[in-house]
Amino acid sequence: MNRILLIITVLFIVSCSKENKTQQIGERFFETYSKRKEVDKMLSFYADQFKYENVGFESETDDPKFLYEEFYGWNDTGFQYGSEATIAVDEILSNDSTIIAIGTTMPYAYNGKQVEGTRFVICLELDQNQKIKKQTDWFDYPMAEILEAYYLKNSMKIE
């Protein structure tokens, strides 16, 4: 009986510690993400085989460097935030292979135009090495941004 109890206790501790490690990865990821500065540090979270999808804009890439430098525009000096934090994470949910963050982007100015903060859900799926193999973003974009992205995307299509 004591042996069974010991085995159950050890299994419980091992499963909790793995989930805690995943939670810590999520917290470090979103802390770095919020600062919007260290592309190389962000790249260290990603697996070699990676897939990104932005549900709202129907966009995808397999290059995390492109994601941060071009899609998110981290090198674009037109973005101006009122504080160092660019997102507020309300909750991080995790298990041994998935991290889900729920939060809000902070308001900012882009080329002098004020942009309100938006709600988001970001889902990170981890591989066996606890690197991000898939990232899915759901942002509650303002309708004007959705329309602008739609027209831009359609203007790029080659017929």
Report the CATH number at residue 75.
3.10.450.50
How confident is the model at residue 152, as a pLDDT?
Answer: 61
Counting Cα atoms < 13 Å in the Cβ hemisphere of 119 gives 4
Low-confidence ranges of the chain (pLDDT < 50): 5-6, 9-11, 13-14, 16-17, 158
Over the chain, what HEC string results?
Answer: CHHHHHHHHHHHHHHHHHHHHHHHHHHHHHHHHHHCCCHHHHHCCEEEEEEEEECCCCEEECCHHHHHHHHCCCCCCCEEECCCCCEEEEEEEECCCEEEEEEEECCEEECCEEECCCEEEEEEEECCCCCEEEEEEEECCCHHHHHHHHHHHHHCCCC
Domain span at residue 64 reads 2-155
Alpha carbons 22 and 83: distance in angstroms, whole number: 28
How confident is the model at residue 20, as a pLDDT?
Answer: 85
How confident is the model at residue 153, as a pLDDT?
Answer: 61
How confident is the model at residue 57, as a pLDDT?
Answer: 76
Alpha carbons 133 and 155: distance in angstroms, whole number: 31
Number of domains in the chain: 1
Locate tokens 């898939």: which residue? 134
The structure's pTM equals: 0.79
How confident is the model at residue 156, as a pLDDT?
Answer: 56
How confident is the model at residue 60, as a pLDDT?
Answer: 93
Q: What distances in angstroms separate CA 72 from CA 14, 84, 96, one per listed residue?
A: 37, 16, 27
How confident is the model at residue 6, as a pLDDT?
Answer: 44
